[in-house]
Chain A
Amino acid sequence: MYVPGVAATCGQATEEGALAGPLADVRVVDLAGESGQFAGRLLAQLGADVIRVEPPEGSPVRSRQPFLDGVQGRERSLYHLHFNAGKRGITLDYRSEQGSELLRRLAAASQMLIETAPPGEMDALGLGFESLREESPRLLYGTVTPFGQEGPMRDYRAPDIVASAMSGLMYLNGDPSDPPNQPAAEQAYHMASLALVSAALIALVGQDRGAGDGPPGRRIDVSIQEAASMATLQNAPPNAYAWHGTVARRRGNVGLNGGRNLYQCRDGRWVSFTVPPYRWDEFIEWLEEEAIESEARTLEFRDASYRQANGTITSAAVFVLTERYGAEYLFHEGQRRGLLVMLVNDVEQLTGDRQLKERGYFAETRHALLGRTLTDAGTPMIFSGERPQVGRVAPSLGEHNEEVYQGLLGLSDDELERLREEGVA
């Protein structure tokens, strides 16, 4: 069992002292920019040895906000510290001839490579899927680009807000009287990274099992636009347009059941409150116990389609409850009655959440250089009772150069020194 603050027991400790998850034998070269960094983070949580490759001057990601204590510095970006947690880090100018050769050697010592360069750029450097395949026939080569490797818009650029817009995801968020709203925390990037990790691991299992013909290496081509569009399927079903010509619009605080989605409670906190169709009787019972008069208590409302068409009546009854009680009470009492009531949590509330704490969700790691213990989201699953622990903070710039160049690639002291002098590493 995981005990906060105590070294976890899962898996065997690797030579570096990190605790192994199910991917302990998998090495990943991580060249990703901001759109694909979450992929390496998740792979590291699953136990992979993820080696992040940065240019000698450091990745631009290190200048993303917010900064630790609000103070800028290349080791202080919380964006970097979050997305690169669990990875090892080296510096390498793979655009140079010598650097390119080193990257090829690193790829040959790895099972997976992740990159987010514009389509064609890695090919031009001689580091594309086809060229690496010659010496690394098993390499799984993952690419994340805004629109995929092919197609008329493949060269278009798309930071998260643009990908979010063009995926259809953004149009559906917010109040109809406001502009469409970008989801919090760069969800288009997250979806792309998730699509990449799952497909790369599917390809890995295919390799394990000898599926497919020809060389076992694969290119995994992820379009951020497509990945983010997955989240629109229920609110804007493509067949609603194909069958009925209906174009879904953003609904503000109106849920799919026609009623409200979020309610502010007596104590100012918000809840998400849904009465599932199979718990209608329990909801009515609650209204009766609370002596809340409502049309919802009439017989017509026992019919699901009638309820759907009159969602605002149900909402009005819920309003009486939420005006009467605080959020925490409604959460537990609603759940006790089988209704789908959830708190709208902010981050402070999440870090104090009993469920997350008891399940050992949060990961604590010590950052020696900064002299701080960092508490962040942990590995999002438990394997046979053990939650894999990464046990390693995001790498400082070039932190693992010696370990990787000498330990893994077998360079001599002199060779490494020369790389430093020439600005390659």
Chain B
Amino acid sequence: MSRSTGPLSGIRVADFFWLIAGPATSRILADYGADVIKIESAARVDQIRDGGVWPPPDRLTATSRNSVFNDCNTNKRSITLDLNHPEAIEIAKQLVACCDIVTNNFKGDRMERWGLGYEELRRIKPDVIMLTMPVMGTTGPYLSYGANGNGVIAAGGINFGMGFPERPPTGMGPLYSDFATPYVAASALMSALHHRERTGEGTFIDLAQFESTVGLLGPQILEYTANGSLPERRGNRSADWAPHGAYPCAGEDRWIAIAVTSDEEWVACCEAMGQHDVSADKRYATNRARLDHAAELDRLVESWTSDWDAWDLTHHLQQSGVAAGVVEDLEDMLTRDPHLRERHFEDIPGHNDGLQYITHRQPARLDGQDVPLRRPPDMGEHNQEVFEELLGISGQQYAELLADGVVY
């Protein structure tokens, strides 16, 4: 299947990624037009095919059942090879010879033990770009250590600096690093591709998910190394501005985030809430004064917001020049938010049973270069197509590979 649109059309990826952070990386490439060939096997099923949220039982298809698997693998092709089989390794190598990029997130020397390490692949494809992105990287005392997304954000320091004072750390709910690291990894891959276009050289990229996560701490590391201080847990308060927080609205667990970052906004906020007296109150006239009264202001703003519908108040405050927004839950995101449903989420047809599913589009639009979304592949769905088109494997040979368990 040739892909003719998108800035990455003509770039082919031999994709050994599994789980989430890896496949979410190659999904980015696929969304901008790369031909991503997911290499998987029934002998070692990508666990994400099996976990998470499934369609209702009467709508189950053979594979691709899990919502997150779909999100991470939309727009890819899938082939199956049992890499414990020597002939499968040979086929994988031939496939690499047709690819620009090879990706994996195995820890340790898994690819080397298959004979698919960078040095070996360079012999087959001298300018190959190989990305290996285990949690800890490919060197160092902890190189064999593993983690899921929860563990990476914990290790990476994000959990420590958030939460409410005097409460145990809960950190981030979402497996944040699984979705942030892919954009770091895609940036690394594109830098290497650019370098290849200029110099003809390939690159081995060693990307530790742990390191990419530590890189998202903002000035916290400098704050420690230069000032010797650790970040305070401030809940939703800001060191720079007040009021700044999540305030209750009408209904159960409904909230609005409000951030007042200038004196003009403070006046606008008070006026929009009908609080002329407060607007004129000298105690709150400057940002410094507001920071000194942050707790008091939080209670005051709470008393203003709690009878409002969260969406009504969002529009009312924004139209009055105040930065404010609903703390959206999934229902808001899918049914009430005018941007996310229009720009971000798209229904795409699933398998033969006609089940639709929703997936995201990339958050960066490239002018006029939208690539249509295709549902994620069933396991091995593109075996014959890929083997024949790229490797010249005939129907007869394919049947033998199947019978021998090489394609599995």
Residues in B with CB closer than 8 Å to A274 are: 147-148, 150-151
Q: Which of A164-172, A291-299, A401-409 lines the interface with chain B?
A: A164-172
Residues in B with CB closer than 8 Å to A361 are: 211, 214
26 contacts between A and B (CB under 8 A): A161-B236, A170-B327, A171-B328, A178-B235, A181-B235, A185-B158, A191-B363, A194-B180, A198-B186, A201-B186, A205-B190, A206-B7, A230-B179, A230-B360, A238-B333, A243-B59, A256-B150, A340-B148, A342-B145, A343-B154, A347-B220, A359-B208, A375-B221, A375-B226, A377-B221, A380-B212
Residues in A with CB closer than 8 Å to B365 are: 148-149, 219-222
**In the complex, are the beta carbons of A203 and B225 less than 8 A apart?**
no
Q: How far is the CA of A179 from the CA of B255 in the complex (A)?
A: 8
B308 within 8 A of A: no
12 extra interface residue pairs, beta carbon distance < 8 Å, beyond A161-B246, A198-B186: A147-B339, A151-B339, A165-B256, A173-B162, A185-B217, A202-B28, A205-B7, A248-B330, A255-B150, A335-B145, A355-B137, A381-B184
Residues in A with CB closer than 8 Å to B195 are: 22
Known: A68-B227, A237-B52, A264-B168. A180 touches B246 (CB 8 A): yes
**In the complex, are the beta carbons of B183 and A197 less than 8 A apart?**
yes
Chain A, 139-191, CB within 8 A of any chain B CB: 147-153, 156-159, 161-175, 178-187, 190-191
Q: How far is the CA of A344 from the CA of B357 in the complex (A)?
A: 36
**In the complex, are the beta carbons of B7 and A198 less than 8 A apart?**
no
**In the complex, are the beta carbons of A182 and B236 less than 8 A apart?**
yes
Q: How far does the Cβ of A19 sit from chain B's closest Cβ, in whole Å? A: 14
**In the complex, are the beta carbons of B157 and A346 less than 8 A apart?**
yes
A410 within 8 A of B: no
Q: How far is the CA of A232 from the CA of B20 in the complex (A)?
A: 13
A396 within 8 A of B: no
Q: How far is the CA of A377 from the CA of B220 in the complex (A)?
A: 9
A196 within 8 A of B: yes
Chain B, 224-266, CB within 8 A of any chain A CB: 224-227, 229-231, 235-236, 238-240, 244-246, 248, 253, 255-259, 261
**In the complex, are the beta carbons of A148 and B222 less than 8 A apart?**
no
Q: How far does the Cβ of A133 sit from chain B's closest Cβ, in whole Å? A: 10
Q: How far is the CA of A376 from the CA of B219 in the complex (A)?
A: 8
B40 within 8 A of A: no
**In the complex, are the beta carbons of B369 and A212 less than 8 A apart?**
yes
Residues in A with CB closer than 8 Å to B155 are: 272, 342-345
Q: Which of A78-86, A97-105, A119-127 lines the interface with chain B?
A: A78-86
Partner among A187, A192, A203, A251 whose Cβ is within 8 Å of the Cβ of B366: A203
Closest A residue to B154 by beta carbon equals A272
Closest A residue to B229 by beta carbon equals A66
Closest B residue to A334 by beta carbon equals B145
Residues in B with CB closer than 8 Å to A376 are: 221-222, 225
Q: How far is the CA of A180 from the CA of B329 in the complex (A)?
A: 10
B22 within 8 A of A: no
Q: How far does the Cβ of A40 sit from chain B's closest Cβ, in whole Å? A: 13
**In the complex, are the beta carbons of B342 and A233 less than 8 A apart?**
no
Residues in A with CB closer than 8 Å to B356 are: 242
B68 within 8 A of A: yes
**In the complex, are the beta carbons of B203 and A22 less than 8 A apart?**
yes
**In the complex, are the beta carbons of A78 and B259 less than 8 A apart?**
no
**In the complex, are the beta carbons of A175 and B167 less than 8 A apart?**
yes
**In the complex, are the beta carbons of B197 and A168 less than 8 A apart?**
no
Q: How far is the CA of A21 from the CA of B199 in the complex (A)?
A: 13
Residues in B with CB closer than 8 Å to A249 are: 253, 329
Partner among A22, A82, A347 whose Cβ is within 8 Å of the Cβ of B231: A347
Residues in A with CB closer than 8 Å to B325 are: 156, 158, 162-163, 165-166
**In the complex, are the beta carbons of A181 and B164 less than 8 A apart?**
yes
**In the complex, are the beta carbons of A22 and B194 less than 8 A apart?**
yes
A231 within 8 A of B: yes
Q: Which of B56, B221, B337 has the most CB of A within 10 A?
A: B221
Q: How far does the Cβ of B376 sit from chain A's closest Cβ, in whole Å? A: 12
Known: A196-B364, A359-B140. A164 touches B170 (CB 8 A): no
Q: How far is the CA of A46 from the CA of B267 in the complex (A)?
A: 43
Q: How far is the CA of A69 from the CA of B229 in the complex (A)?
A: 10
Residues in B with CB closer than 8 Å to A250 are: 173
3 nearest CB pairs, A to B? A206-B7, A199-B364, A201-B190
Chain A, 368-384, CB within 8 A of any chain B CB: 372, 374-378, 380-384
Partner among B174, B194, B206 whose Cβ is within 8 Å of the Cβ of A232: B174
A116 within 8 A of B: no
Closest B residue to A157 by beta carbon equals B323
Partner among B192, B198, B227, B318 whose Cβ is within 8 Å of the Cβ of A66: B227
Chain B, 120-163, CB within 8 A of any chain A CB: 136-137, 139-152, 154-163
Residues in A with CB closer than 8 Å to B18 are: none
Q: How far is the CA of A376 from the CA of B184 in the complex (A)?
A: 18
Q: How far is the CA of A36 from the CA of B343 in the complex (A)?
A: 20
Partner among A197, A211, A231, A345 whose Cβ is within 8 Å of the Cβ of B6: A211
Chain B, 72-92, CB within 8 A of any chain A CB: none
B-facing mask of A242-267, CB < 8 A → 1, else 0?
A: 11101111111101100001101000
Q: How far is the CA of A207 from the CA of B366 in the complex (A)?
A: 12
Residues in A with CB closer than 8 Å to B345 are: 238
**In the complex, are the beta carbons of A22 and B192 less than 8 A apart?**
yes
A17 within 8 A of B: no
Closest B residue to A206 by beta carbon equals B7
Residues in A with CB closer than 8 Å to B151 are: 272, 274, 340-342
A136 within 8 A of B: no
Known: A168-B330, A218-B366. A384 touches B236 (CB 8 A): no
B331 within 8 A of A: yes
Q: How far is the CA of A221 from the CA of B364 in the complex (A)?
A: 5
Residues in A with CB closer than 8 Å to B324 are: 162
Partner among A64, A68, A81, A190 whose Cβ is within 8 Å of the Cβ of B180: A190
Known: A184-B161, A196-B364, A208-B194. A377 touches B323 (CB 8 A): no
Closest A residue to B47 by beta carbon equals A277
B332 within 8 A of A: yes
A356 within 8 A of B: yes
Residues in A with CB closer than 8 Å to B67 are: 233, 237-240, 243
**In the complex, are the beta carbons of B217 and A241 less than 8 A apart?**
no
B-facing mask of A325-354, CB < 8 A → 1, else 0?
A: 000000000010010111111111011001
Residues in B with CB closer than 8 Å to A157 are: 318, 323
B112 within 8 A of A: no
**In the complex, are the beta carbons of B139 and A359 less than 8 A apart?**
yes
**In the complex, are the beta carbons of A354 and B204 less than 8 A apart?**
no
Residues in A with CB closer than 8 Å to B367 are: 129, 218-221
